[in-house]
Amino acid sequence: MMPLSSLEKAYIPQIETHPAPLPPLKNHPLILEIGPGRGDFLFQLAEENPRHFILAIEYKNRRYEKLVQRIEKRRLANVLLVKGEARFVLKSYLKDILFEKVFILFSDPWPKKRHAKHRLIEAEFLSLLSRLMCPGGELIVTTDDESYAQWMQREFEKVPCLLPTDKKDQYPTIFETFYAQKWKGEGRSLNAFCFVNGPY
Ligand SMILES: C[S@@+](CC[C@H](N)C(=O)[O-])C[C@H]1O[C@@H](n2cnc3c(N)ncnc32)[C@H](O)[C@@H]1O
């Protein structure tokens, strides 16, 4: 996995959870969203999957605080929020858990070449995700950035246990998040990738 940059390292000591502490996660059906932003898709997942815990990892303080307020306002008991850097949280903080589905919607594209090292979607992180997903679990990733989409395609090809499927059509609202709407309005094309976790 790409070494964490100083930007990402800055978030490591700041792990917080809502609720605190988290309830036991082992053997509970789990869905993961990385980078929920304002939380629109997260809340929808929570309402549509009442028997699951929906775990969301968000590293920006302000966004985390707003999400906590919105979760409380909506009384969503099945949303679990972690404030932290996703790679660090998944590698070092959460243990012995398997996700049925993982959503990463419009993760920051870091379009400048010298910033590409910050991109979340790369082969080693995808391999980590695959190890944290149930057999047959689904990974859904979107981007509005053409060069990031091409980069992703190359990175996905390095992780053969993630098998491409067309199941993304089952999730029409992935293109209705806050950022999806914003970029659709600007005429940008939206890309979605969907994979099923195969044998390792
Ligand atoms: C462009 S926004 C997209 C938000 C939302 N998914 C949507 O589609 O509206 C990306 C979000 O991911 C969060 N994020 C980016 N990199 C992250 C990381 N490494 N760990 C945790 N959160 C991250 C950002 O703080 C931001 O909230």
Q: What is the DSSP letter of 38?
A: T
For residue 90 and ligand 1, the question of a CB distance below 6 A is answered with no
- Measured from the CA of 85, which atom of ligand 1 is nearest? 20
pLDDT at 116: 84
Question: What's the pLDDT tens digit per position in 129-182?
Answer: 999 999 999 999 999 999 999 999 999 999 999 999 988 889 989 999 988 999
What is the CATH superfamily name and number for domain 6-197? Vaccinia Virus protein VP39 (3.40.50.150)
> Atom 11, ligand 1: which residue's CA is nearest?
35
Convert the pLDDT of each residue in 62-115 to its tens digit. Answer: 999 999 999 999 999 999 999 999 999 999 888 789 999 999 999 999 988 888
Q: What pLDDT, in 10s, does the model give residues 161-175?
A: 999 998 888 998 999
Q: Which residue has the tokens 């307020």?
A: 69
- Give, using CA atoms, the residue closest to atom 10 of ligand 1: 107
Amino acid 119: pLDDT:
94
Kindly list the catalytic residues.
Answer: 108
Can you tell me which atom of ligand 1 is nearest the CA of 89? Answer: 20
Alpha-carbon distance of 157 to 162, in angstroms, equals: 8
Q: How many CB atoms lie within 10 A of CB 13?
A: 8
105 lines ligand 1 (CB under 6 A): yes
Higher pLDDT, 199 or 62: 62
CB of 141 closer than 6 angstroms to any ligand 1 atom: no
Q: Say whether pLDDT at 11 is over 90.
A: no
Q: Which helix (H) or strand (E) segment is 157 a member of?
A: helix 146-157
- Please give the pLDDT value at position 199: 72
33 lines ligand 1 (CB under 6 A): no
Domain boundaries along the sequence of the chain: 6-197
CA torsion through residues 41, 46, 49, 52, sign: positive
Overall average pLDDT of the 13-22 stretch: 89
